[in-house]
A and B are shown apart, each in its own frame.
Chain A
Amino acid sequence: MEKKIEIRAYKDEFYPPVPTKATKFWRTNLVYQIYKFLRLNYKIMRIVVKGHS
């Protein structure tokens, strides 16, 4: 039987940017994410400290 292909063209979900393989890789790369963890915490703390003044 022929496999039914769902054509996404012209649908809402056709247009947004989607991550490439490399982007997905870096998202769960432990070393890079440890760096991100520290950086994001720093950015969050800056906002938090401002909110408490």
Chain B
Amino acid sequence: MAKVVVLGAGISGHTAASFLKKMLGSKHEVVVVSPNRYYQWVPSNIWVGVGRMKIDQVRFPLDKVYQKWGIIYKQAKALEFHPEGDQENNSPFVTIEYVANAEKGQREKVSYDYLVNATGPKLNFDATPGLGPGKFSQSVCSYDHAAHSWEALQQSIKAMENGQMQRLLIGTGHPSATCQGAAFEYALNIAFELKRKKLSHMAEITWITNEYELGDFGMGGAFVKRGGYITSTKVFTESVLTENNIKWIKRAGVTKVEDGIAHYETLSGEQNTKDFDFAMLIPAFKGQDFKAYDKSGEDITAKVFAPNGFMKVDADYTPRAYESWTVEEWPKTYQSPVYPNMYATGIAFAPPHGISKPMKSPTGLSITPSPPRTGMPSGVTGKIVAQNIAHFIKHGETEHKHTASMGKMGAACIVSAGFSMTRGLGATMTVSPIVPDWQRYPEWGRDIKATVGEVGLAGHWIKLFLHYMFIHKAKGYPFWWLLPE
């Protein structure tokens, strides 16, 4: 009997665990370790943040589903990786610490034959002094953050109803933050809700971003065929903001947040501030601060993980200038180069480099979005790793039959711009591939025929449909495995 341990039950880990169990059946063991007892459909947190969805509409408890599937679930967080075992154990294991119930605080060594690290990002609020819930700004990165953000937003709405102008600041809260798409959606949803309440004239909404140009989204921007032109997402994004009367500050790295004041440095080296009554700013992301040790107990963290805490996989990490980047550096199998029975999927793998061109201010501050790893690549990488591991276990082979590179795979992103079945809006964007392939597509970096950018009610329907479809799939309802990632 083989044992596969999956760390994390987000989009990537839950996908990996569900396919592993389906393919391996009861002959083999699948264990999931995750500190949060809920699965959450993260993209819908935006709607929690504007009061259009309740927390329980975007999450559900994992234990019932895992019980049904025969997956062992441990509500714990992983702390240490011991890929060679230790003095007492020859098998590799991870040290975990339980976070709930009677076992809270207890540690356990969980051995494995294969390990899938799908622990996503650590929301690194500490990298920006004053940033984040409990301090001076809000976040929508998890359902509880989004619910708090909605509470704070309601106070601003009340103030507007009482005749007070409100300054709302939305965007990135660190010079190297990513996930611009989510913050952008939030800004548009707030604008939509204020319009609905006839309060638009009482708000000054500002979009603040570390992007060189708007519409970069951490993937170097994109081009879409539209109205007889091939148009950049810069134009598309500026148009949507202008239409919603949202002003913008670009090339800005937020360095500190105080009560009602965001400090930022621009790429030209200016030190500026922006006052606000309400701010939702996305933090920097990093890996989960794991430690790794070899059999003798020596610290091998730097061998297994990149300096940003994400796990090294089969990417080419040789430092290169932007002009020399190619899609070939991007990983395909997500296997650790040092321990072949370890994999990292979703946001947990260390990308070889950014996608957006690195930029520095005259003071040397890097103001560049980090590369995003959105839902689709997170799901797809979880699935192909599960397929490969299941194949190895069942057939004793070691050749990866399934691969998925962000330099080959496309992604669809539906940017919600207002929640209503008849008047709502969504911007549907598709790009292929996610990482521009300048060798294959010298003009635009991507397949222009596969790239779409459209605003309309249909976009909202698609986003809502995806919400229900992915929750159906994650709950393991009938035919869940037929639904794509």
Contacts and interface: CB of A to CB of B under 8 A. Distances in A.
B365 interface: no
A34 to B, nearest CB: 8
A3 B409 CA distance: 54
Interface string B400-416: 00001000111110000
A48 B432 contact: no
Given A17-B235, A17-B239, A37 B412 contact: no
Nearest to B380: A51
Tell me the interface secondary structure of chain A in the complex.
Answer: helix
Contacts of B411: 47, 51
Interface residues on B, range: 35 or more
Interface string B411-424: 11000000000110
Given A28-B423, A37-B462, A51-B408, 20 more contacts: A13-B247, A15-B238, A16-B238, A16-B239, A16-B241, A16-B242, A28-B422, A28-B425, A28-B456, A30-B422, A34-B458, A36-B456, A43-B450, A43-B452, A47-B410, A48-B485, A51-B376, A51-B377, A51-B380, A52-B380
A13 B245 CA distance: 8
Interface of B: 235, 238-239, 241-243, 245, 247-248, 376-377, 380, 383, 404, 408-412, 422-423, 425, 428, 430, 432, 450, 452, 454-459, 461-462, 484-485
Q: Name which of B248, B380, B458 has the most chain A CB atoms within 10 A of its CB.
A: B458
Q: Name which of B248, B428, B450 has the most chain A CB atoms within 10 A of its CB.
A: B428
Interface of A: 12-13, 15-19, 26-28, 30, 32-34, 36-37, 40-41, 43-52
B238 A12 contact: yes
A41 B456 CA distance: 13
A33 B461 contact: yes
26 contacts: A12-B248, A13-B238, A16-B239, A16-B241, A16-B242, A17-B239, A19-B243, A19-B455, A27-B425, A27-B456, A27-B457, A30-B422, A36-B457, A37-B461, A40-B452, A40-B462, A43-B452, A47-B410, A47-B412, A47-B430, A48-B484, A49-B484, A51-B485, A52-B380, A52-B484, A52-B485
Nearest to A23: B455
Contact of A47 (B238, B404, B432, B457): B432
Nearest to A47: B410
Given A12-B248, A37-B458, A47 B450 contact: yes
Contacts of B423: 28
A26 B422 CA distance: 12
A47 B430 CA distance: 8
3 A-B pairs closest in CB distance: A51-B409, A47-B410, A16-B238
Contacts of B242: 13, 16, 18
Contact of B456 (A13, A18, A33): A33
B247 A48 contact: no
A40 B427 CA distance: 11
A46 B430 CA distance: 10
B456 A51 contact: no
Contact of A40 (B410, B450, B459, B484): B459
B457 A33 contact: yes
A51 B452 contact: no
Nearest to B484: A48
Contacts of A44: 412, 428, 430, 462
Q: Name which of A15, A32, A40 has the most chain B CB atoms within 10 A of its CB.
A: A40
A16 B238 CA distance: 6
A41 B466 CA distance: 11
A40 B409 contact: no
Contacts of B425: 27-28
A12 B454 contact: no
A38 to B, nearest CB: 8
A48 B485 CA distance: 8
B333 to A, nearest CB: 15
A27 B427 CA distance: 10
